[in-house]
């Protein structure tokens, strides 16, 4: 469902963050993306949801060539891809419910459907009781749960997460991982950039290692690797 062929990304400042990446990720896979800071993990991930376009090469998501995607089709792509960030990126003046509902409102879903579906995903992440609270009233782990709920509310085929446990303590990180596991068990592809060695080594999935903008390792049920 995600195909990259000879992808290069050179930023305007001359930095080459992707240096010939070819990779294929199938529907239903769970993939960790590991590598040192500055290796190009975020760039790799941003190109998947078209936050960045490659300078060269082809990226196909579900048969759609991202480069050739017309601007008016970008919302359709975004609907198929949920994104979770390290710093949650919730809207501070909206409640938990509203933050999640917003993702459905922008694609003009029916209000009745929105209400039902938002409560469904809030139940899935264990936050039904906190639907009326503001993000500032929640712990970091709870805020990340809200952002995960938001990422899956439109039933995307893939969830892309850039260091989702980067700001969380170990215990909370495990709880967040349980939710990603559940999402993946339901058939959603998960691509996750992470520095969390313990998690990668304990919950085994495919590991793609990136260094200097290149894939240096790609293993099914891989280890985190790298000595710390």
Contact between 164 and ligand ADP (CB under 6 A)?
A: no
Considering the complex, state which of residue 36 and residue 111 has its C-beta at the smaller distance from ligand ADP. Answer: 36
Cβ at position 12, least distance to ligand ADP in Å: 7
What's the CA gap between 138 and 135, in Å, rounded?
A: 5
Q: Which of 37-45, 55-63, 66-74, 146-154 is the region at the interface with ligand ADP (rule: CB under 6 A)?
A: 37-45
Q: Which of 32-40, 87-95, 107-115, 118-126 is the region at the interface with ligand ADP (rule: CB under 6 A)?
A: 32-40
Considering the complex, state which of residue 19 and residue 95 has its C-beta at the smaller distance from ligand ADP. Answer: 19
Contact between 17 and ligand ADP (CB under 6 A)?
A: yes
Q: Which of 37, 72, 136, 228 binds ligand ADP (CB under 6 A)?
A: 37
Contact between 13 and ligand ADP (CB under 6 A)?
A: yes
Beta strands 81-85 and 64-65 are unpaired
Q: Which of 22-30, 41-49, 98-106, 139-147 is the region at the interface with ligand ADP (rule: CB under 6 A)?
A: 41-49
Contact between 141 and ligand ADP (CB under 6 A)?
A: no
C-alpha R_g of the chain: 17
Beta strands 2-10 and 56-61 are antiparallel
- Residue 128's contacts (CB-CB under 8 Å, 6 or more residues apart) are 119, 122
Cβ at position 190, least distance to ligand ADP in Å: 17
Cβ at position 11, least distance to ligand ADP in Å: 3
Q: Which of 2, 7, 21, 35 binds ligand ADP (CB under 6 A)?
A: 35
Q: Which of 21, 39, 66, 152 binds ligand ADP (CB under 6 A)?
A: 39
Contact between 53 and ligand ADP (CB under 6 A)?
A: no
Cβ at position 81, least distance to ligand ADP in Å: 18
What's the CA gap between 161 and 85, in Å, rounded?
A: 6
Report the interface residues with ligand ADP, using CB under 6 A: 11, 13, 15, 17, 35, 37-43
């Amino acid at each position: 469902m995600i195909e990259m062929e000879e992808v290069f990304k050179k930023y305007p400042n001359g930095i080459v963050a992707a240096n010939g990446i070819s990779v294929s990720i199938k529907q239903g896979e769970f993939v960790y993306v590991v590598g040192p800071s500055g290796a190009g993990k975020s760039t790799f991930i941003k190109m998947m949801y078209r936050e960045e376009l490659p300078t060269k090469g082809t990226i196909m998501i579900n048969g759609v060539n991202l480069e050739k995607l017309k601007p008016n089709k970008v919302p359709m792509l975004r609907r198929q891809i949920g994104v979770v960030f390290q710093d949650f990126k919730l809207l501070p003046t909206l409640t938990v419910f509203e933050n999640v509902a917003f993702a459905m409102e922008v694609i003009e879903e029916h209000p009745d459907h929105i209400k039902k579906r938002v409560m469904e995903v809030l139940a899935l992440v264990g936050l039904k009781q906190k639907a009326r609270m503001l993000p500032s009233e929640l712990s970091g782990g709870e805020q990340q749960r809200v952002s995960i709920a938001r990422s899956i509310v439109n039933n995307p085929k893939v969830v892309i997460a850039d260091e989702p446990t980067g700001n969380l303590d170990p215990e909370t990180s495990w709880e967040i991982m349980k939710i990603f596991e559940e999402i993946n068990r339901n058939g959603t592809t998960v691509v996750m950039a992470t520095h969390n060695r313990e998690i990668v080594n304990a919950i085994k999935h495919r590991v793609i290692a990136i260094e200097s903008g290149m894939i240096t390792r790609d293993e099914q049920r891989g280890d985190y690797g790298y000595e710390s």
